[in-house]
Amino acid sequence: MKLNKTGFDDLLLIEVNFFYDFRGSFFESWRENEYKKLGINEVFIQDNISISKKNILRGLHFQKNQGQLVTVVHGKIFDVAVDLRPNSKTYKNYFSIELNSKNPKQLYMPPGFAHGFCVLSDLAIINYKCTQYYNSKDEGGIIWNDPSIDIKWPLNDHIISERDSSFPKLGHNYDRICT
């Protein structure tokens, strides 16, 4: 396992030990003692699976005090994390990376980040390990194309839910969640 810095405090990119042969592939997606060595001391209490078709864009979502470890189990996505921590030097900036199942890497987002992705393959299955239980009262979102963030999404023909399309621009409701 190898840790890569992202330029954002506590936002970590993890290269897992990936094994592939004629039978298929194998990797450990979570091993507490190894991740603690990387500085991830969170307790994960909920796992979520997202299954999405090509061109689906989800996000930008956030949940109060929730950290996430994102792993693509199948397919390929363009993944985005937006720093909403007011005291961070990367506040209102975003990190993006292509994550896929052929060369798996994991993105660890500590509490205080909004998350979104768009699907580049025909189908993508994503696993989220979460440090807090889902609570609808603690969630929020930012519009995916907020010009103040200016995310360079790789596709132009996104399919976006009505809910995600109706999120406000940055600054409307994130402060009650991330402070």
Q: Which domain holds residue 50?
A: 2-178
Residue 172's pLDDT is: 57
Residue 61 annotated to the active site: yes
The reported pTM is 0.92
| Angstrom distances, CA of residue 127 to CA of 73, 75, 99, 144, 151 | 7, 12, 12, 21, 23
Q: What is the mean pLDDT of the chain?
A: 92
Q: Residue 125 and residue 61: Cα distance in Å, rounded? A: 17
Residue 128 annotated to the active site: yes
What is the number of domains present in the chain? 1
Q: Which of 74, 91, 128, 158 is an active site residue? A: 128
Q: Which of 61, 94, 108, 174 is an active site residue? A: 61
The DSSP code for 120 is -
Q: Spell out the residues 6+ positions from residue 36 whose beta carbon is closer than 8 angstroms to its own.
A: none
**Digit-coded pLDDT (tens) for 120-158:** 999 999 999 999 999 999 999 999 999 999 999 998 899
CATH number at residue 141: 2.60.120.10
